[in-house]
Amino acid sequence: LTSERYGVQRLPFAHVSDADLAFFEHLMPGRIVTDVDELKLFNVDWLKSVRGCSKVLLKPRTTVEVSEILRYCNEKNLAVNPQGGNTGLVGGSVPVFDEIILSTALMNQVISFDNVSENLNKYLEELDFIMPLDLGAKGSCHIGGNVATNAGGLRLLRYGSLRGTVLGLEVVLADGSLLNCLTSLRKDNTGYDLKQLFIGSEGTLGIITAVSILCPRKPKAVLQTFTTCKGMLGEILSAYEFMDSECMKLVERHLKLANPVTESPFYVLIETSGSNSAHDEEKLSHFLEQVTAADLVVEGTLASDDKKIKALWALRERITEALTCDGSVYKYDISLPVEKLYDLVTDMRTRLGRSAKNVVGYGHLGDGNLHLNITAESYSHSLLDAIEPYVYEWTSRYRGSISAEHGLGFKKKHYIHYSKPQEAVLLMQQFKAMLDPKGILNPYKMLPAKAT
**315 Cβ contact partners less than 8 Å away, ≥ 6 residues apart:** 243, 248, 251, 257, 259, 267, 269
324 binds ligand MLT (CB under 6 A): no
- For residue 366, which of 343, 335, 345, 395 has the smallest C-alpha distance? 335
Give the DSSP H or E segment for 48: none
Q: For ligand MLT, which residue of 283, 371, 420, 445 counts as binding (CB under 6 A)?
A: 371
Task: Return d(Cα 44, Cα 184) in angstroms, integer.
Answer: 35
Q: Helix axis angle, 226-233 relative to 277-293, nearest 10°?
A: 150
Which of these segments, 12-20, 89-97, 389-397, 411-419, binds ligand FAD (CB under 6 A)? 89-97
Amino acid at 187: K
Q: State which residue, 99 or 170, has the beta carbon closest to ligand FAD.
A: 99
Supply the minimum distance, in Å, between the C-beta of residue 46 and ligand MLT. Answer: 10
93 binds ligand FAD (CB under 6 A): yes
67 binds ligand FAD (CB under 6 A): no
Supply the minimum distance, in Å, between the C-beta of residue 317 and ligand MLT. Answer: 6
Q: For ligand FAD, which residue of 77, 104, 209, 396 counts as binding (CB under 6 A)?
A: 104
Residues 337-356 that bind ligand FAD (CB under 6 A): none
Q: Residue-wise over 213-222: b if at least 16 C-beta within 10 A, else e?
A: bbbbbeeeee
What are the phi and psi torsion angles at 211 (to 5°)?
-135, 135
Q: For ligand FAD, which residue of 28, 50, 89, 270 counts as binding (CB under 6 A)?
A: 89
> Which entry of ligand MLT, ligand FAD, none binds 371, CB below 5 to 8 A by partner kind?
ligand MLT
Question: CB–CB of 56/34 below 8 Å?
Answer: yes
Question: CB–CB of 436/75 below 8 Å?
Answer: no
Helices (H) and strands (E) in the chain, counts: 17, 14
420 binds ligand FAD (CB under 6 A): no
Torsion of CA 436, 437, 442, 446, to 10 degrees: 90
> Which entry of ligand FAD, ligand MLT, none binds 358, CB below 5 to 8 A by partner kind?
none
Q: State which residue, 101 or 319, has the beta carbon closest to ligand MLT.
A: 319
442 binds ligand FAD (CB under 6 A): yes
Q: State which residue, 55 or 406, has the beta carbon closest to ligand FAD.
A: 406
Which of these segments, 83-91, 175-183, 201-209, 289-297, binds ligand FAD (CB under 6 A)? 83-91
CA distances from 255 to 88, 165, 315, 322 (A): 22, 38, 9, 6
Which of these segments, 199-207, 266-274, 298-306, 401-409, binds ligand FAD (CB under 6 A)? 401-409
Question: CB–CB of 98/77 below 8 Å?
Answer: no
Which of these segments, 67-75, 271-279, 372-380, 403-411, binds ligand FAD (CB under 6 A)? 403-411
Site of interaction with ligand FAD (CB under 6 A): 46, 81-89, 92-93, 104, 320, 405-406, 409, 442, 445
Site of interaction with ligand MLT (CB under 6 A): 319-320, 333, 363, 371
